[in-house]
């Protein structure tokens, strides 16, 4: 590939997934980039000679991950500028071009401090994956569905606590996961929604009716479908049953095939087409060798193995070590169509977070592009038409 200016780039691809609604796979296809935006995309050869010829694999939009606790040895809730820069700078290696750093349950004051720190870090980050804001996963969750969260720090979403988070996270807080059955939760959902913060139902023992009430109040997401929530039953649909049948709700899915089996992943895509978004829920151990790391300030261990997931001392799953390109590959291997799997990692989460300029290859969208090889592993990534991975643009 030649080193080309981000203001003018023409890419010809053997296969192209634009991830726009109803679009499939183009074979071949092309993309024209101008000024860091997609100017044109379509089937067949490009209208003028290509700067980049991709004779194999598939060109897709950059992935959007709404749940990243950490990566490359860094836990984002406690990392400094160098740690944030390392994560944002290297995530394009996995095909991710935009993400939400995720802070799990912590004392309210500590969480507020982490949000204020994030606000000061964001303007100074170098070129890499875009930080779209922060996802606060807790502390307003159920003690019956804690997962890897510290139960001692769980609390009710009282108005003062919500106001403190909104003040501390002004301009930064984009997503809050909470349990809608907690005292004050419905009022909190309304308050957060009015403040333009996306609310997700998660770590919850809510009934289907309580999840529906959360959606009535403005919740639009379910955090890591099937995990850390009241399960589906044929007489009480629980959280998954309501999530999959309620058209207002889009569900995050940890597609590492450890948190959720392949048949249940297929079921989710079949039951809620266009309403599944892939997330990694990556912890600091992601992209690192087996060993001991931190999540929520507490130790986790990443065992050896291709699909290993980090665990607490008691064996509880604690985030993942998943790559987004691997999540897409896992879903395709599980029987999900390539175009649907790519959209679940790009356009669906981008739309959910209110970024219609991301996650698709369409005129006017940011030219965030990923070239996946035939095994669906990222080989090259562009952000705003600028090749950011691999670091050396000529190879």
Residues annotated catalytic, as ranges? 281
Distance between first and last Cα of the chain = 6
Confirm if 66 and 251 have CB atoms less than 8 A apart: no
Confirm if 110 and 103 have CB atoms less than 8 A apart: no
Distance between alpha carbon 394 and the CA centroid of its chain, in Å? Answer: 30
Structure tokens at 262: 């392949």
Q: Using CA atoms, how far apart are residues 375 and 364, in angstroms rounded to an integer? A: 29
Q: How many Cβ atoms are within 10 Å of 132's Cβ, its own excluded?
A: 23
Rounded to the nearest 10°, the torsion over CA 344, 349, 352, 358 is -110
Residue in this structure with the two tokens 């038409």, named with its chain if needed? 385
Q: Using CA atoms, how far apart are residues 22 and 255, in angstroms rounded to an integer? A: 22
């Amino acid at each position: 590939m030649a080193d080309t200016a981000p203001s003018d780039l023409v890419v010809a691809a053997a296969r192209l997934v634009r991830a726009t609604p109803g679009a499939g796979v183009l074979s071949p296809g092309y993309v024209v980039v101008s000024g860091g935006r997609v100017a044109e995309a379509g089937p067949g050869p490009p209208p003028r000679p290509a700067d980049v010829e991709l004779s194999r694999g598939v060109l897709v939009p950059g992935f959007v991950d709404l749940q990243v606790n950490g990566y490359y040895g860094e836990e984002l809730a406690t990392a400094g500028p160098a740690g944030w820069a390392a994560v944002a700078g290297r995530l394009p290696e996995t095909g991710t071009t935009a993400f939400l750093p995720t802070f799990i349950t912590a004392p309210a004051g500590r969480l507020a401090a982490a949000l204020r720190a994030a606000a000061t870090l964001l303007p100074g980050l170098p070129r890499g994956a875009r930080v779209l804001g922060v996802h606060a996963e807790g502390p307003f969750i159920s003690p019956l569905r804690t997962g890897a969260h510290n139960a001692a720090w769980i609390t009710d979403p009282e108005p003062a606590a919500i106001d403190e988070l909104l003040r501390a996270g002004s301009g930064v807080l984009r997503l809050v996961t909470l349990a809608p059955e907690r005292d004050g939760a419905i009022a909190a959902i309304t308050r957060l929604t009015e403040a333009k913060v996306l609310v997700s139902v998660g770590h919850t023992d809510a009934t289907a009716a309580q999840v529906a009430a959360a959606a009535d109040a403005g919740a639009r997401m379910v955090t890591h479908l099937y995990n850390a929530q009241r399960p589906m039953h044929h007489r009480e649909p629980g959280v998954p049953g309501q999530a999959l049948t309620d058209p207002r709700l889009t569900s995050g899915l940890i597609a590492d095939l450890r948190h959720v089996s392949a048949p249940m992943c297929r079921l989710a895509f079949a039951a809620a087409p266009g309403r599944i978004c892939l997330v990694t829920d990556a912890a600091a151990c992601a992209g690192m060798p087996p060993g001991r790391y931190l999540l929520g300030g507490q130790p986790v261990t990443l065992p050896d193995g291709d699909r290993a997931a980090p665990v607490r001392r008691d064996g509880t799953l604690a985030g993942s070590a998943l790559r987004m390109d691997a999540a897409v590959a896992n879903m395709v291997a599980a029987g999900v169509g390539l175009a649907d799997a790519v959209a679940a990692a790009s356009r669906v989460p981008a739309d959910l977070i209110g970024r219609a300029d991301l996650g698709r290859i369409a005129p006017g969208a940011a030219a965030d592009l990923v070239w996946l090889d035939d095994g669906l592993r990222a080989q090259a990534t562009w952000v705003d038409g600028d090749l950011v991975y691999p670091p050396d643009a000529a190879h």
